[in-house]
């Protein structure tokens, strides 16, 4: 193969299995898309046969349906309801176990499975979300050692997005559909009646080693440009667009907008949006004691700012109304995240829109609350 | 010295007490850790009070039980209700919506033998309750965790968020969003571990209302999925006595009556 890291290669569909087997042989756990419970979600993969071949999705506010495609695409779908968060910041993990012993108390820190993860089929939005979580959980003043350990040596085989859903808006957030950074390999699926290929971009030395072992051929320039056109086509089909740079000031200038009251009436406070969001990172801790009183476990689990307990201080919840909780979430995600972490907290994956049972659309709400500077599809 | 535990039954199906017995291996550990001083479902051997912790199952439906619950409170240092009956009146609180005389004459050959109150009320309507554990029945894991905390003098932790959180922790895909299945999860108190949605069914609200809930918004959503009558019924099951569910039930009944009068 060429020594030029920027040269694109071609992986025929029938050799996809080989690529995944090679990754497993190198000691990685595969996390990728699979059809489960009527949705295409990230989960542990055994191999290429677990991929959602011939499936896609229909998404709109409050509604998700997995549906058959007319072709045999392996990655022909948009962001599903399970983000990558749970594989790096576990939903419920034992932080420490305290045991009463003969010679005083003993502390054991749980480690969990820290074999490196290979992400298969991560999109541009997924990779941006991981970068945001890294900023919060690995690079802040108080890095989370469990997150850092699980993130170490993650191998990323991204798949460029060619199928945005009706809820997607990554172009507004500058997070896609093309993944430009943060992958070892990035595939673009090109499938039609005659062919089924993946155009392979190499993003790292580790990626280069993988394709060298597979001895992949160079992609014909025409195939490469076709792949690029497909991703560009996805950008053009994005359902909505707004001026993201205006959102910070526009939201913070409208903290008493009457729309917040209407949101307080519509929002179920069910927590779905926060728990499907790939960048939400909030947790709480719980102590569990056994019957003998000799063993106490401290667990850390995902929590949500939509739960009333989340802001419980002395005397009660600081955000007792649903209105105040919704406002806190939206303004943090889209505005004060900048002040805290230097970027937006949103990647435009649309998960919160699809997964809201009552169909609240954050882009619509931003355009109403932020007014003219934030209007949709200017 | 071991803490003394008592388990009491009022109007109920015994299912919550059975959850304790169904702990099996852990039940033996419990019997080691505490002195089970009063638990008729497990043993006819009775030790007199006072008791450090009383678990109370069932609702108050008779004049005799009205007196008995006062006595239970008097001999209990801490009192925790277990399950929907004790916490919100149970399925038998459906009598509150109807005429109890009609019920007894329809059900019993000799209704004159039946002495019962017109209502089924939660324990907290009669005595002060230290802790409430939700569910129909209670979740045995949660029951053991809470009992373990209480006998070790620690504050028990019972999350009051909705079932949706438990779905997400398990990695469940939302049944409402992905299947269009009606589900009470967004307004229902967690504790079951999202049992029904994990088997592709909607939540039936066995644990009653979550601490924070938007029943009105969920009712609007359910209107796309269920008939008016079905929505009215789904708010009048095991937790029909819980204020948030009862108010919504009553409101829907009023609206239906008004709608019929109008047409």
Handedness of CA A166, A171, A173, A175 (dihedral sign): positive
Chain A contacts in chain B segment 104-143 (CB below 8 A): none
Domain with CATH 3.40.50.700 in chain B: 4-151
B135: left (phi over 0), alpha (psi -120 to 50) or beta: left
- Going by the DSSP 8-state scheme, the letter that residue B214 receives in this structure is -
Inter-chain contact A39–B178, Cβ cutoff 8 Å?
yes
Length of chain B: 263
Inter-chain contact B172–A37, Cβ cutoff 8 Å?
yes
Chain segment A126-168, per-residue pLDDT in tens: 999 999 999 999 998 899 988 999 999 999 999 999 999 999 9
Q: How many CB pairs under 8 A join A and B?
A: 140
Average of pLDDT values for A60-72? Answer: 97
Structure tokens at A234: 């996805």
B178 touches chain A (CB under 8 A): yes
Type and span of the H or E element at B178: helix B175-179
- A43 neighbourhood in chain B, CB within 8 Å: 171
Picking from A36, A271, A322, the nearest residue to B214 by CB comes out as A322
Q: How much of chain B exceeds pLDDT 70, in percent?
A: 99
SS (H, E, C) chain A: CCCCCCCCEEEEHHHHHHHHHHHHHCCCEEEEEEEECCEEEEEECCCHHHCCCCEEEEEECCEEEEEECCCCCCCCCCCCCCCCHHHHCCCEEEEEEEEEECCEEEEEECCCCCCCEEEEEECHHHHHHHHHHHHHHCCCCCCCHHHHHHHCCCEEEEECCCCCCCCCCHHHHCCCCCCCCCCCEEEEEEECCCCEEEEEEECCHHHHHHHHHHCCEECCHHHHHHHHHHHHHHHHCCCCCCCHHHHHHHHHCCCCCCHHHHHHHHCCCCCHHHHHCCCCCCEEEEEEECCCCCEEEEEEEECCCCCHHHHEECCEECCCCHHHHHHHHHHHHHHHHHHHHCCCCCCCCCHHHHHCCCCCCHHHHHHHHHCHHHCCCC
B151 touches chain A (CB under 8 A): yes
Picking from A62, A269, A291, the nearest residue to B33 by CB comes out as A291
Q: What is the pLDDT of residue B263?
A: 53
Long-range Cβ contact pairs of A316-325 (< 8 A, separation 24 or more): A321/A264, A322/A263, A322/A264, A322/A267, A322/A269, A322/B212, A322/B214, A323/A260, A323/A261, A323/A263, A323/A264, A324/A264, A325/A267, A325/A269
User: Bridge partners of B87?
Assistant: none
Average of pLDDT values for B7-33? Answer: 94
Q: What is the pLDDT of residue A113?
A: 72
pLDDT category at A111 given cuts 50, 70, 90 is low
Gap between the Cα atoms of A186 and A163, Å rounded: 16
Q: What is the pLDDT of residue B125?
A: 98
Q: What is the pLDDT of residue A353?
A: 98
* Residue A6 predicted with pLDDT over 70: no
B185 touches chain A (CB under 8 A): yes
**Cβ–Cβ under 8 Å, residues A227 and A190:** yes
- B32 neighbourhood in chain A, CB within 8 Å: 291-292
- B20 neighbourhood in chain A, CB within 8 Å: none
* Closest to A331 measured CA to CA, from A264, A253, A271: A253
CATH of B4-151, one of 3.30.565.10, 3.40.50.700, 3.40.50.2300, 1.10.150.250: 3.40.50.700
Length of chain A: 378
**Cβ–Cβ under 8 Å, residues A288 and A296:** yes
Beta strands (DSSP E) in chain B are 3-9, 34-39, 51-57, 76-82, 131-133
Residue of A nearest to B170 (CA): A91
pLDDT category at B230 given cuts 50, 70, 90 is very high
- Chain mean pLDDT for chain A: 94
* Residue A206 predicted with pLDDT over 60: yes
Gap between the Cα atoms of B199 and B79, Å rounded: 34
Q: Which of A267-271, A279-283, A373-377, B203-207 has the lowest mean pLDDT?
A: A373-377
Q: What is the pLDDT of residue B157?
A: 86
Chain A contacts in chain B segment 32-51 (CB below 8 A): 32-34
Average of pLDDT values for B83-103? Answer: 94
Gap between the Cα atoms of A198 and B233, Å rounded: 54
Tally Cβ neighbours within 10 Å of residue B145: 21
Q: Give the relative orientation of helices A362-370 and A322-331 as an angle to the nearest 10 degrees.
A: 90
Q: How much of chain A exceeds pLDDT 90, in percent?
A: 89
Chain segment A193-204, per-residue pLDDT in tens: 899 999 999 999
Average of pLDDT values for A213-225? Answer: 95
Inter-chain contact B216–A265, Cβ cutoff 8 Å?
yes
- B168 neighbourhood in chain A, CB within 8 Å: 91, 271-272, 275-276, 302
Structure tokens at B37: 């001083």
**Cβ–Cβ under 8 Å, residues B168 and A275:** yes
pLDDT category at A109 given cuts 50, 70, 90 is confident
Q: Helix (H, G, I), strand (E, B), or coil: what is residue B117?
A: coil
Q: What is the pLDDT of residue B262?
A: 62
A35: left (phi over 0), alpha (psi -120 to 50) or beta: beta
Of the residues B150, B217, B222, B244, the best mutation for testing chain A's interface (the one with the most A CB atoms within 10 Å of its CB) is B217
**Cβ–Cβ under 8 Å, residues A77 and A163:** yes
B213 touches chain A (CB under 8 A): yes
Give the global pTM.
0.95
Of the residues A291, A295, A318, A361, the best mutation for testing chain B's interface (the one with the most B CB atoms within 10 Å of its CB) is A291
């Amino acid at each position: 193969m060429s020594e030029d890291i920027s040269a694109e290669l071609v992986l025929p569909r029938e050799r996809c299995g080989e690529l995944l087997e090679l990754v497993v042989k190198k000691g990685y756990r595969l996390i990728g898309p699979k059809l489960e419970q009527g949705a295409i979600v990230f989960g542990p993969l055994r191999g290429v046969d677990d991929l959602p071949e011939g499936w896609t999705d229909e998404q709109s506010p409050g509604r998700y349906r997995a549906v058959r495609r007319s072709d045999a695409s392996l990655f022909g779908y948009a962001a599903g309801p399970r983000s990558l968060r749970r594989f790096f910041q576990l939903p419920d993990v034992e932080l420490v176990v305290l045991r009463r012993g003969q010679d005083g108390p003993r502390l054991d820190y749980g480690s969990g499975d820290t074999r490196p993860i290979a992400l298969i089929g991560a999109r541009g939005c997924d990779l941006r979300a991981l970068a945001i979580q890294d900023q919060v959980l690995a690079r802040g003043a108080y890095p989370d050692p469990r997150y850092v350990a699980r993130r170490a040596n993650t191998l990323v085989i991204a798949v460029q997005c060619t199928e945005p859903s009706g809820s997607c808006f990554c172009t507004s957030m500058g997070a896609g559909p093309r993944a430009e950074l943060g992958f070892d390999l990035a595939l673009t699926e090109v499938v039609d009646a005659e062919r089924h290929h993946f155009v392979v971009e190499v993003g790292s030395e580790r990626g280069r080693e993988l394709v060298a072992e597979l001895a992949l051929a160079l992609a014909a320039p025409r195939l490469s440009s076709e792949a690029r056109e497909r991703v560009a086509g996805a950008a053009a089909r994005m359902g909505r667009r707004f001026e993201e740079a205006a959102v910070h000031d526009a939201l913070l200038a409208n903290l008493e907008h009457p729309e917040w009251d209407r949101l307080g009436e519509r929002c179920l406070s069910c927590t779905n949006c926060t728990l499907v969001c790939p960048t939400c990172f909030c947790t709480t801790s719980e102590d569990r004691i056994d019957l003998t009183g000799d063993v106490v476990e401290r667990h850390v689990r995902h929590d949500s700012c939509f739960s009333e307990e989340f802001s419980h201080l002395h005397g009660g919840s600081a955000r007792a109304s649903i209105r105040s909780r919704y406002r806190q979430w939206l303004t943090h995600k889209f505005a004060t995240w900048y002040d805290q972490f230097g970027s937006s907290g949103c990647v435009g994956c649309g998960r919160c829109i699809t997964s809201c049972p009552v169909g609240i659309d954050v882009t619509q709400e931003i355009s109403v609350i932020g007014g003219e500077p934030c209007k949709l599809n200017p | 010295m071991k803490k003394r535990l008592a388990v009491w039954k009022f109007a109920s199906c015994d299912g919550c007490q059975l959850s304790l017995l169904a702990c099996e291996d852990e039940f033996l550990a419990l019997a080691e850790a505490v002195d089970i001083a009063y638990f008729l479902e497990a043993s006819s051997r009775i030790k007199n009070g006072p008791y450090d912790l009383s678990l109370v199952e069932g609702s108050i439906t008779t004049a005799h039980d009205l007196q008995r619950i006062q006595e239970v409170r008097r001999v209990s240092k801490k009192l925790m209700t277990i399950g929907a009956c004790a916490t919100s009146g149970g399925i038998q609180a459906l009598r509150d919506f109807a005429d109890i005389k009609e019920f007894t004459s329809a059900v019993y050959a000799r209704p004159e033998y039946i002495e019962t109150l017109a209502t089924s009320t939660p324990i907290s309507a009669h005595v002060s309750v230290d802790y409430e554990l939700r569910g129909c029945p209670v979740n045995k894991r949660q029951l053991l965790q809470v009992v373990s905390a209480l006998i070790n003098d620690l504050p028990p932790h019972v999350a009051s968020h909705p079932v949706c959180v438990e779905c997400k922790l398990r990695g469940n895909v939302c049944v409402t969003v992905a299947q269009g299945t009606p589900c009470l999860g967004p307004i229902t108190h967690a504790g079951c571990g999202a049992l029904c949605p994990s088997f592709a069914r909607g939540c039936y609200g066995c644990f009653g209302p979550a601490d924070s809930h938007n029943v009105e918004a969920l009712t609007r959503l359910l209107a796309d999925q269920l008939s008016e009558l079905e929505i009215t019924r789904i708010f009048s099951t095991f937790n029909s006595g819980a204020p948030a569910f009862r108010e919504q039930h009553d409101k829907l009944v009023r609206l239906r009556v008004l709608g019929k009068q109008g047409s």
